[in-house]
Structure 1
């Protein structure tokens, strides 16, 4: 028999074995644990991640009325200009973010990017940034964790939105305590001057629209500090793209 037959037969056998393996060892939904072919089953995705709600266009906190800005942003405007998010950081979605960040389940990152891309593309007033930059980790935190969850989300998000990714556009120049372990009244000071624009990248920032990518936005102090660094170097606009937003208590 010719080599062509062997190649076709080998390919068919490989497909059969893959299908058999999938039936014997099905993937599990990251939320409910049920068998599914993807990271999330369709019912969980539709129930927990398929809904949009009115939000402040600047900080993405939920709104109960038709206002475009929440009272907090009207009283104390942050350095960033807009925020887009795919979900609230609440049960059970918060467990997905924790699986990525502390469980190193990197397969979740493309799912988060897809959900975020779908969310921003459904916004009538969506304006695409010229560059995307993940929130950078300091060297010690990066060595401890082994990866930057913001970068893992930003890579597939940049491809889906067709926006250039510049992972070294900004640098974390000061190691800070994890915001989750800092008292709320101290969080802003904890991030003060923690970020700078990379010296060789300042020309890319001046007059441009920069998008900051992160996994979770809670108080907003982290992205606000990074946005302030971009604004100090002449950024015309800064948009935050975050998978989940912690609702105000």
Structure 2
């Protein structure tokens, strides 16, 4: 008798498993609405983005990148995990988020290489005897720290876990980037999905602050000491991790609090964000 096919974590059916995403079937894998080429280079949206184009306010992050578009199927999937407590989905959702990291890493690596080539070409004249003197092979860009968006004590009590921490943990294991809880939520903001853009922006203002717990600060300083030589040439590169990007109000509030925390320690921060989905 042939062995039975595994049950897909997404659709619940027994079907041929995907080789790219363990735990889900081939059909569900094919149907994932990946964001491979963001249309908005700031927020990572896959369609036209009036929010970034019309806003004249300074943005506290370099950019956001998201793994998938927030379709009805992805909304149902996130609901299974986040609201109905199906934590078996955490590893595969984390792997999906890792695709967004790979895109961000490639983009930043290419920008670094371009900047280096331009810098070298402005200093060194072209040599016919050494036409390849500008060809370099720099290491891939890598973030220094992952910072998950904290949930309120109310939400943590309801769910029993912080989804951003679980997603970040997958990246830590795959990419070797340490994760630190450098943010704390100052107050419970209620469910954001039913609120307008202006209500979300007002709700999230001052909703986060830097974590000044002595143990956390010791861990942070320990990480900074390890990479001090690199920080003499560039800012500390931090990625904020969350499950979904809607208006960006949460990410912006977190980034502002991180800039202040890192600045108080005498360093500069360059902040990015990764989210599992982009609405």
Band the TM-score falls in, shorter-chain normalisation = 0.7 to 0.9
Q: Structure 1 51/228 Cα, relative in aligned 2: closer, same or farther at 3 Å?
A: closer
Whole-Å Cα distance in 2 between the matches of residues 174 and 138 of structure 1? 7
Contact 2:239 2:273 in 1 (8 A): yes
Q: Displacement, 1:230? A: 0.8
**Residue of structure 2 in register with 1:136 after alignment:** 150
- Deviation of 1:36 (Å): 4.3
| Structure 1 counterpart SS, 2:193 | helix
CA deviation string 1:164-219 (max 9, x = no partner):
011x2111121211211333321111111111111143756895221111111111
Distance 1:77 1:55 in 2: 20
Matched ranges for 1:1-249 at <5 A: 23-24=3-4, 26-31=6-11, 33-37=13-17, 38-50=22-34, 52-63=36-47, 70-72=52-54, 75-123=56-104, 124-126=106-108, 127-166=141-180, 168-199=181-212, 200=214, 201=217, 207-233=235-261, 234=263, 235-246=268-279
Displacement over 3 Å in runs of 4+: 22-26, 31-34, 202-207
- In 1, distance between residues paired with 2:9 and 2:183? 35
- Worse overlay, 184-193 or 220-229: 184-193
Counterpart Cα distance in 2 of 1:101 and 1:77: 32
Change (3 A) 1:122 1:225: closer
Say if 1:32 and 1:44, in contact at 8 Å, map to a contact too.
no
- How far 1:25 moved relative to its partner? 7.5
- Please identify, of 31-40 and 54-63, the stretch whose mean Cα deviation from structure 2 is larger: 31-40
Q: TM-score, normalised by structure 1?
A: 0.78
What stretches of structure 1 of length at least 5 have no aligned partner? Answer: 1-19
Q: Distance in 1 between matches of 2:257 and 2:196?
A: 23
C-alpha displacement of 1:244: 0.4
Structure 2 gap ranges (5+): 109-140, 225-230
Residues 223, 240 of structure 1: 8 Å contact kept? yes
- RMSD between aligned residues: 2.8
- Which range is displaced more, 49-58 or 184-193? 49-58
